[in-house]
Each structure stands twice: as C-alpha cells, then as structure tokens.
C-alpha cells in the first residue's frame, strides 16, 4: 500500500527487507562496494540456507499437508528457523523458553494454517518487489536493523527505492524483532511514528 497507494500511508516502519526486493540500478547509479558485497553474501546465504524458501515458493500445499499431518514435523520445521534466524548462537533456548516455542508451534497446529503461511512465499515469487526506472516508495520510511537479521541489505541498497529518513542499528537481535527484542522494537517504532501523529490527527479531523 505504501507503494501503490501512498496517499493512504503516513509512514512505513520496517525491520526486514523482503528477499524479492530489487531496486532499479543503471550506469548512472552504479553499485557501491557494500552493495556488491551484500549481493554476494545474500546469494551465499540462499545457497546454504534457502531450501525452505524454494520449497515454500514452489510447492507450499504439498509441504503444508505434510506438516499438518505431523506435529513433530511441524515443530522441527518451525523451531529450526527460530534457532537459525534468532540471535542465539545456535542454541534456541538461550533466546526462547520451551513454553514460547510450543505456543508458537501450537498456533499453527491447532488452526491448521502452516500451508497458508507457506503460500506467502509462492505469492512473493509470482509478484516480486521489483522497481522499474523512476519507481520508488515515497512515504517516509524508518528501518530497524538488528545485528543478526540475515541477509539484511545495507542502507544504500534500501535507499534506492525507499525514502529512508531513519536507520537504527542495534548490536543484538535477529529476525524475530518484536519477539526477541520487544523493548527495542517498541521504542524505535514509537520514536519513528511520533512526528507523524499530529499530522494524522489534523488530517483525520479535516475529513
């Protein structure tokens, strides 16, 4: 919506940039060294750890039926990602309790929604976030970058298509920002949104 209907959005706060994101790059705006390094690192990451993405982006229903049929399989599939993507040095219990992990797995299990969550990857593959010449997200954007979020592009790569006005770097935390670092996430979101509150109130009152 921030891209296609910017008049409906005051601002955008992100802690993750989709893997399908591709800004416009041409000879007038050559890649910087940090962007080149990121592209190599991202490709290596997907080669080594991207199997989940490929199967979910190509056969989500097949995977979904299998995971819905086995609570152990579902737990293994999900907790493997919690362990790999969180800032826990490979020991998931350092970041999440058993109750937290089982609660998250149970949400998928009792609602039978793992297949629909997998389909997001298929839809993303069919409609990637690719920008043509001159296209960009004009609404103000704030980015919270937690240290272990992988693969996370550098600011220069994000700014090619996002109007980044705030970039916050933190020394810890991983992919699950609101779960791992709730205070950090909430504080950054509040601070970013604060300047836009009066604008939102004025425009709402004028309607």
Domain residue ranges of the chain, discontinuous segments joined by +: 6-206
Backbone region of residue 134 per phi and psi (left: phi > 0; alpha: psi in -120 to 50; beta: other values): left
Best CA proximity match to 29, nearest among 128, 129, 133, 130: 133
Q: Tell me: the pLDDT tens digits for 98-125?
A: 999 999 999 999 999 999 999 999 999 9
**pLDDT one-digit tens code per residue, 157-177:** 999 999 999 999 999 999 999
Nearest to 14 by CA among 117, 162, 120: 162
Residue 207 has pLDDT above 60, yes or no: no
Whole-number pLDDT of residue 27 = 87
pLDDT at 205: 56
> Looking at domain 6-206, which CATH architecture does it have?
3-Layer(aba) Sandwich (3.40)
Q: Name the band, by pLDDT with cuts 50, 70 and 90, for residue 97.
A: very high
Check pLDDT > 80 for residue 3.
no
pLDDT at 95 over 70: yes
32-70 burial: b if 16+ Cβ within 10 Å, else e: eeebeebeeebeeeeeeebeeeeebbeebeebbeebbee
Q: Is 140 left (phi over 0), alpha (psi -120 to 50) or beta?
A: beta
pLDDT of residue 202: 62
- Confidence grade of residue 206 (pLDDT, cut at 50, 70, 90): low
Question: pLDDT tens for residues 42-69?
Answer: 999 999 999 999 999 999 999 999 999 9
Answer yes or no: are the C-beta atoms of 73 and 66 closer than 8 Å. yes
Write out pLDDT tens, residues 9-47.
Answer: 889 999 999 888 999 999 889 999 999 999 999 999 999
Say how many C-beta atoms besides its own lie within 10 A of residue 185's C-beta.
Answer: 20
């Amino acid at each position: 919506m921030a891209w296609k209907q910017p008049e409906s959005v005051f601002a955008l706060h992100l802690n993750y940039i989709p893997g399908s994101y591709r800004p416009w790059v041409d000879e007038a705006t050559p890649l910087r060294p940090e962007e080149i390094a990121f592209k190599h690192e991202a490709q290596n990451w997907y080669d080594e750890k991207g199997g989940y993405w490929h199967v979910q982006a190509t056969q989500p229903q097949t995977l979904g039926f299998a995971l819905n049929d086995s609570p152990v399989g579902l737990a293994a599939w999900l907790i493997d990602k919690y362990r790999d993507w969180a800032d826990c040095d490979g020991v998931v219990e350092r970041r999440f309790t058993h109750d937290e992990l089982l609660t998250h797995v149970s949400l998928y299990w009792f609602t039978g929604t793992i297949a629909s969550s997998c389909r997001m990857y298929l839809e993303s593959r069919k409609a990637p976030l690719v920008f043509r010449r001159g296209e960009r997200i004009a609404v103000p954007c704030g980015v919270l970058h937690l240290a272990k979020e992988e693969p996370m592009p550098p600011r220069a790569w994000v700014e090619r298509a996002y109007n980044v006005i705030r970039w916050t770097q933190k020394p810890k935390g991983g992919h699950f920002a609101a779960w791992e670092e709730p205070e950090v996430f909430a504080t950054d979101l509040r601070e970013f949104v604060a300047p836009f509150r009066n604008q939102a109130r004025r425009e709402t009152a004028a309607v």
